[in-house]
Structure 1
């Protein structure tokens, strides 16, 4: 069971007067979709980077699947971070972007193609597989970034405000897709965002983060979900 737990996590940057994260305790049960909302510079991205191993906490610990992974590298945690700026390889097709990390990891070609095909079907990218990033829309590029994470079959999926670059008419549908995807894959998912409105219905649990302090959000409907 791949739960995610942050215990008394504090992050202090030398040039800042206040900690970016201040004794944060956060528990994300296995398979749940948890959202942390807050204003700009509230510590959301730092929270995700600490969970994923891209940022070292000043104190506290990170646990995944009941194991203390604080000292492990990002590559050894089984967590995948999807950033706001999805940084697709412009010279590679959509299919090649999705398959890149799997090829580096030495995944067999048959399994690699099956994972890519399945992710493309789930995210509606089948018709775009042979196109390059400059030939698809912004929302499609975001979907490719999600698919690229999905094919890696992460233990924990971390998403940094994936809705921020979308047009208003696509935000609600994409939020619902992310929630459905998280439960469909049975992957523990932690997402950070600025505006809680689009994800309120999709999230299992909602938290708010302000000045590095974590507070319960207004909806926790975990009992409504299996």
Structure 2
């Protein structure tokens, strides 16, 4: 009887030990299966060009006076005129935002002498979003005529980049598929399936702002009947894909 029990226990132990090995042979891990497969890990990008439909411009008023109070009062008066000109030009309140307000003492420096206070300089700047580019030049002219003596730059953009980004996505996927097909043919394989697809952040470069820093007296002459050329923006989307291939 003892011999029979020992034989039964030994058989059960051997069966338990053999089960994992049999399962491993029947269903290899996914990572091992992928390692044995031929794959192409590729990246591509799609790009589309589109005309901007909005612009952002930063402009302001700078005034100087012997006292801080006088500098701020003069600045507030001119800035009020500039804001009224923007509103008359059809700009909504949501498109006008104060971006900088400062008051700085001004000194005169002489050799071997302590700095001497000569007055104060007040500056007030607003960032304006123009959604009708046909009125951009008129808006700049109106603010300059109203007293603005600082224009720091103009940049262009898209109010809704969705359509341009989707066009770039389609171009990116087509470029990725073409590259995968090329690699497959070059290596004597055929594409089986697209395993994974990931997208990078969509972006479109904005042309650098056009800096303009001139005095109000000459600025009015130079900016008369201002014309603006918005050009085009490039919208780009990057994608990465993993393809499985076979012979």
TM range (shorter): under 0.3
Q: Which has the higher helix share?
A: 2
Which one has a bigger Cα radius of gyration?
A: 2
Q: TM-score, normalised by structure 1?
A: 0.21
Q: TM-score, normalised by structure 2?
A: 0.20
